Amino acid sequence: MEDKRTSKITPTVEDYLGVLYTLERDEVPATGAVMAKLLSVSPPTVTNTFKRMVRDGLISIDKAKHALLTDRGRENAESVMRRHMLTEWLLKDTLNVPWSETHQESHDIEHALSKNIEQKLQEHINTVKTCPHGNPLPGNEVYVQDWVPLSQFQPGERGILRRIHEFGEDHAELLQFLEQHGFLPGVGFTVKEILPFNQTMTVETEQESITLGLSSVAYLFAEKS
């Protein structure tokens, strides 16, 4: 019989673990519907994968049918998050992959990295507390806690863009748009205008005026200045 403690976790299950970890951190219940939307799969597919994950001791399902990470599940989720985020830095800083492409590229590589390489990456990139998009490495959540959702800014308020939420990183066009307009973590801005009827927010950086849809704004966090 296979020992579930040493059985290899598949890339698909690692993707589930990463999403479950992020939902748990944000205190959002991990329902089948939420998972299906975030992973772009059907609800029955989520149900089947959840069953395998319960069998392998990675999650439990509570009475409300929410998936909860077990200790083993969380440990593996933290490992995949670290591998993902550290690989993003490696791609960006060492291989000069454009910022907007590091997430997707890392997503394809992260599953192949061993514990040993994860350790080496951590040593190589030993000072970072976030990924290149500003999301906290597991254990560094405190570091980002004072960054507020951009949606809470009012016209005239100034800030520094700090973070594009993990789930926003999945929107390649949003990342490309931000990169093209130089609206990246660390860049200062002033909120110029919010038009609820038009679902837009316009911010001004030193370089230019940028209009964002409120659905994109929902993924952005900034530091008030």
Q: What are the residues binding Zn ion (CB under 5 A)?
A: 88, 103, 131, 133, 169
Q: Is 10 helix (H, G, I), strand (E, B) or coil?
A: coil
Residues 115, 112: Cα–Cα separation, whole Å? 10
Residues 82, 123: Cα–Cα separation, whole Å? 12
Considering beta carbons, is residue 41 or 167 the nearer one to Zn ion?
A: 167
Considering beta carbons, is residue 99 or 189 the nearer one to Zn ion?
A: 99
Considering beta carbons, is residue 12 or 70 the nearer one to Zn ion?
A: 12
Which residue's C-beta sits nearest to Zn ion? 131
In the bound complex, what is the minimum distance in angstroms from residue 146's beta carbon to Zn ion?
A: 19
In the bound complex, what is the minimum distance in angstroms from residue 40's beta carbon to Zn ion?
A: 16
Tokens 């994950």, residue located: 53
Considering beta carbons, is residue 15 or 88 the nearer one to Zn ion?
A: 88
In the bound complex, what is the minimum distance in angstroms from residue 87's beta carbon to Zn ion?
A: 9
| Of the candidates 216, 106, 200, the residue with the CA atom closest to the CA atom of residue 161 | 216
Q: How many CB atoms lie within 10 A of CB 168?
A: 21
Considering beta carbons, is residue 56 or 88 the nearer one to Zn ion?
A: 88
Q: Which long-range contacts (CB under 8 A, 24 or more apart) does 178-184 make?
A: 178/100, 179/98, 179/99, 179/100, 181/205, 181/207, 181/208, 181/210, 182/207, 182/208, 183/210, 184/99
In the bound complex, what is the minimum distance in angstroms from residue 50's beta carbon to Zn ion?
A: 23
Considering beta carbons, is residue 101 or 193 the nearer one to Zn ion?
A: 101
- Residue 149: DSSP 8-state: E
In the bound complex, what is the minimum distance in angstroms from residue 6's beta carbon to Zn ion?
A: 28
* Neighbour-count burial of 6, counting CB atoms closer than 10 A to its CB (0-12 exposed, 13-18 middle, 19+ buried): exposed
- The radius of gyration of the chain's CA atoms, rounded to the nearest angstrom, is 19
In the bound complex, what is the minimum distance in angstroms from residue 190's beta carbon to Zn ion?
A: 26
